[in-house]
Structure 1
């Protein structure tokens, strides 16, 4: 049986990940490729509970950046072992809303946690596993956050200061430039052009 492929959509708040995932799932359906969808943090019963802890803005105590980091990777470990890897082994493709690149950008870039720490935790939990293709939707933080605020209430991380998101953005861009499996797409374009670029990247990958 052919191994499935893992495609991840990445980007900051307001980048348009949900609509991008819809474009991907439509494309795969047209190609008669079976797939499932996941999200991070979350994707299993336990991982969703960890997601609630990470994203809630209503805690009575401060969540330290170390706790945030470990909860992210605990959730990811659960999802990888219980959903992603079994699906791929069964020949099913997996479409992920975020993966390890998010932690590298938000906790590594935004929280300024050292690369050595990030690498160690990733090595323990992911054991070298990585996506086959990542579509990174690149958007200026000011534009993305304005879009996110227009959607409604913001979660704990979305309430951070602008300098945090500027660091996240810079880390995303630098990591994307270093990895040939990451395709950067300008998410500030008209939505139709963004979707066109996504379809083009998918066509090249599937071919």
Structure 2
């Protein structure tokens, strides 16, 4: 089942930031948004799960509580429902107005976390995405990468060992997630750019800006 990219308004770009826990996506979204606004672009910054009232309500269900709160199938369905609301209420209207959308996680997180690491299967995640969000895909996906385990340790320090349901999962799970992201990037080189997330936030931001040079011209 092919995803649709032709539905995206050519005046705006949809950029997703992806990666495992603790790689700095939220920081880089803020830096990227500020830089693009300074250059005169109309930007919205958003995140998944969340980004709208319905999505935020589901976010609490997904991130809070015991790691075994939901079955893997229920988790995948909840993410798909949150994304459907997000696309309908926020992302597609913004693109139709010619805005740039910067999104902290999108479909590739579902493919990596639920599709591969949780065993639901990528094809099933793609079917849910097609049903709920009409297969809408980003123009560019920036995959922030760190060595296995380093991002999780960063997240633990950041959150004082009080992380969400996903951060609390074992290193084997996070290794599977990172491997799945890498595989997705290799399979979709026209959309993905792999970004070294080591070093200072400013260093990583420069790498990100270089990776979208072609969209700015």
Q: Of 44, 53, 64, which aligns to 2:61?
A: 53
Task: Quote the residue 2:167 is aligned against.
Answer: 158
**Large movers: runs of 4+ above 6 Å:** none
Q: What is the deviation of 1:36?
A: 0.9
1:177 aligned residue: 186
Aligned to 1:202: 212
1:143 to 138, 150, 175: 150
1:115 Cα shift? 2.2
2:5 corresponds to: none
Counterpart selection for 1:30 from 38, 44, 58: 38
Query: Of 52, 56, 73, which aligns to 1:44?
Result: 52
Is the Cα contact below 8 Å between 1:140 and 1:169 reproduced in 2? no
Query: How large is the RMSD of aligned CA atoms in angstroms?
Result: 1.7
Asked if the contact 1:109–1:170 (Cα under 8 Å) also holds between the matched residues in 2, the reply is no
Judge conservation of contact 1:41–1:47 (CA < 8 Å) in 2.
yes
Number of residue pairs matched by the alignment: 206
1:3 Cα offset (Å): 3.1
Is residue 65–residue 111 contact of structure 1 (8 Å, CA) maintained in 2? yes
Unpaired segments ≥5 residues, structure 2: 1-8
Structure with greater helix percent? 1
Match of 1:187 among 194, 197, 200: 197
